[in-house]
Amino acid sequence: MKRIVLTSVMIAILLVVGSARADVKLSRAFGNHMVLQQGREIRIFGTADAGEKVTVELAGKTASGTACDAGEFRVDLPAMKADGKAHTLTVKGKNTVTVKDVLLGEVWLCSGQSNMEWTMGGTLNSKDEIAAANNAQIRLFNVPGHVQGPTPLTDPRGNWQVCTPRSVGGFSAVGYFFGRALQKELKVPIGLVGTNWGGTRIEPWTPIVGFKSVPQLKDYIKSISEIDPATPAGKARHEKYLAELEKWLEKARANLKAGKSFPGNPPMMRLSPKGGATYIYNGMVNALTPLSVRGAIWYQGESNAGDGLRYEYLKEALVKGWRSTFENDDLSFYWVQLANFQGPNDNPSGGGWGPVREGQRRALRIPKTGMAVIIDIGAARNIHPKNKQDVGARLALWALAKDYGKEIVYSGPLYKSMKIEGDKIRITFDCVGGGLVAAKKEGLAPAKETPGAKLIHFAIQAADGKWHWADANIDGKTVVVSAKGVSKPKHVRFGYQSNPVGINLYNKEGLPASPFTTD
């Protein structure tokens, strides 16, 4: 009997000891079938006992680190090159974790609202595209669900999958077509990490460090500070609210004793910052950091259309914020300019989505960024145009040229400068490629030149500030704009409406010119 009792006590002690020990656990950003970024230090992170030594091994390279007091560890392996081999990642502490079928290649984040979230099932030729998406050199990771809140989460919740017709169906179509174009050209594994939420603004995707880096967005910092009890402003606001609530409760108690009704609604306190700033970043991006990645592609802006030109600064905050939290000042960031949408507008001054597109274009001043122009493939009555193939392909052109050194024309004409010449204005462009042409795009077919066609959707501003529809003619690598009755022009606008139907200025490589305004 004594032996049995002693054995039971020993088992109990072992159970207590076992429950106190925390096994080494990798972040779910790491898993079987994943791709690790080549050419950059490989950051491996997760949780373990405070002070526990953790050793990481991959492809013959080994590095070690120690878990901090909070029980988190990070170990950086040296940069490696893609070698076409499937590796095993081994992480050792008090226990051992192995991750199999790990490839070295290129890793990209794919994020935004519904047009980035839009899955393969909603694209043109979806059945054929899905059936053909059988490529073991492309790996997919999708952050599931829509999660937001004031507290940064540390578990990304998703899992890696090999790209097959089954796994690709629920993945971002733009992301997949972007990755497909890269893999075809580079012949290395491509890892795509999707984190998207339809109908969202840009501010919730932006970490606070991003807002702090842009002086024009001080109002967001003030808003965040006001609800954070860790800040003086937030603490004072919470104390004031609690005092008001206590007064209301006293009145409510007194009324109840007297048989009276409640004294109106209780005081309310705003619980989220302006525009929901930082909340989706906390729930759907923070847990991915500081994963080693090459860059990010972004398709969003519909929900910020009312912000117009200010979107330039909101985009700057997002880019700088992600570069900071992913610890990568070289993080490439390529976005999609909004497609044409809604009914035509006969007002030459433009409006609608014109200003927010201009904000997107102006954000190109941020180093190592790019913009896919899709003003020719939208739909008047569909905010989710089905041609996602050209979107992904045009984003890939920027990456292939800027990140991978391919000597290609990567964009349609982008406004560079203007010069007033009497009663005309001459517009100069970057990314002219083989030359400026009038062309027409239909479906998935390449844009086709339309010799002799008149350029449309150009407007010119007169000295009195009024806008007039204008004549525009290609002159070498420039466009000359004028209008009858306008003798002293001030500025030019091109495609500055929500839906400039039939917009037709391209370069010879078949890429459309971005809408712009010179004022």
Asked if residue 329 is part of any domain, the answer here is yes
Q: Summarize the confidence of residues 226-240 as an average pLDDT.
A: 81
For residue 113, pLDDT beyond 50: yes
Q: Clarify whether residues 188 and 225 are in a common domain.
A: no
Confidence of residue 259 (pLDDT cuts 50, 70, 90): confident
Q: Clarify whether residues 227 and 300 are in a common domain.
A: no
Confidence of residue 233 (pLDDT cuts 50, 70, 90): confident
pLDDT digits (tens, 9 = 90+) for 116-125: 999 999 999 9
Asked if residue 419 is part of any domain, the answer here is yes
Mean pLDDT (the chain) is 93
Q: Clarify whether residues 298 and 255 are in a common domain.
A: no
Asked if residue 4 is part of any domain, the answer here is no
Q: Clarify whether residues 286 and 381 are in a common domain.
A: yes
Instruction: Tell me which of 120-124, 244-248, 361-365, 407-411 is least confident.
Output: 244-248
Per-residue model confidence (pLDDT) at position 243? 85
Answer yes or no: are the C-beta atoms of 52 and 73 closer than 8 Å. yes
Confidence of residue 21 (pLDDT cuts 50, 70, 90): low
pLDDT digits (tens, 9 = 90+) for 306-356: 999 999 999 999 999 999 999 999 999 999 999 999 998 899 999 999 999
Q: Clarify whether residues 373 and 475 are in a common domain.
A: no
Q: Clarify whether residues 379 and 436 are in a common domain.
A: no
For residue 203, pLDDT beyond 70: yes
Per-residue model confidence (pLDDT) at position 178? 98
pLDDT digits (tens, 9 = 90+) for 482-495: 999 999 999 999 99
Choose the final residue of a domain: 227, 250, 275: 275
Per-residue model confidence (pLDDT) at position 403? 98
Per-residue model confidence (pLDDT) at position 20? 45
Asked if residue 15 is part of any domain, the answer here is no
Per-residue model confidence (pLDDT) at position 256? 84
How many structural domains are present in the chain? 3
Q: Summarize the confidence of residues 104-129 as an average pLDDT.
A: 97
Q: Clarify whether residues 135 and 243 are in a common domain.
A: no
Residue-number span of the structural domain to which 253 is assigned: 218-275
Per-residue model confidence (pLDDT) at position 71? 96
- Whole-angstrom Cα distance, residue 78 to residue 216? 38
Residues above pLDDT 70, as percent of the chain: 96
Answer yes or no: are the C-beta atoms of 355 and 309 closer than 8 Å. yes
Q: Summarize the confidence of residues 96-122 as an average pLDDT.
A: 98
Instruction: Tell me which of 5-9, 129-133, 365-369 is least confident.
Output: 5-9
Q: Choose among 296, 350, 304: nearest CA to 518.
A: 350
Q: Choose among 255, 120, 270, 90: nearest CA to 180.
A: 120
> Which residue did the predictor score with more confidence, 91 or 250?
91
Per-residue model confidence (pLDDT) at position 252? 85
Element (H, E) at 304: none
Asked if residue 23 is part of any domain, the answer here is no
Answer yes or no: are the C-beta atoms of 426 and 480 closer than 8 Å. yes
> Which residue did the predictor score with more confidence, 261 or 11?
261
Q: Clarify whether residues 372 and 236 are in a common domain.
A: no
Asked if residue 328 is part of any domain, the answer here is yes
- What does the CA dihedral 141, 147, 149, 154 come to, rounded to 10 degrees? -30
Confidence of residue 262 (pLDDT cuts 50, 70, 90): confident
Asked if residue 326 is part of any domain, the answer here is yes
Q: Clarify whether residues 342 and 305 are in a common domain.
A: yes
Q: Summarize the confidence of residues 398-402 as an average pLDDT.
A: 98
Choose the final residue of a domain: 275, 294, 309: 275
Measure Cα distances from 514 to 64, 144, 305, 431, 481 in Å: 49, 34, 17, 11, 16
Here the tokens at position 217 are 């967005």
Q: Clarify whether residues 174 and 291 are in a common domain.
A: yes
Q: Summarize the confidence of residues 83-112 as an average pLDDT.
A: 98
Q: Clarify whether residues 182 and 309 are in a common domain.
A: yes
For residue 414, pLDDT beyond 90: yes
Asked if residue 67 is part of any domain, the answer here is no
Choose the final residue of a domain: 349, 376, 402: 402
Question: Any idea what the CATH number is for the domain that residue 335 is in?
Answer: 3.40.50.1110
Answer yes or no: are the C-beta atoms of 388 and 118 closer than 8 Å. yes
- Site of tokens 């004594």: 2
For residue 19, pLDDT beyond 90: no
pLDDT digits (tens, 9 = 90+) for 40-79: 999 999 999 999 999 999 999 999 999 999 999 999 999 9
> Which residue did the predictor score with more confidence, 261 or 26?
26
SS3 326: coil
Q: Choose among 141, 168, 135: nearest CA to 32.
A: 141
DSSP state string for 228-258: -TTSHHHHHHHHHHHHHHHHHHHHHHHHHHT
Q: Clarify whether residues 231 and 201 are in a common domain.
A: no
Read off the pTM. 0.91
- Whole-angstrom Cα distance, residue 132 to residue 348? 45
pLDDT digits (tens, 9 = 90+) for 438-472: 999 999 999 999 999 999 999 999 999 999 999 99
- Whole-angstrom Cα distance, residue 469 to residue 461? 9
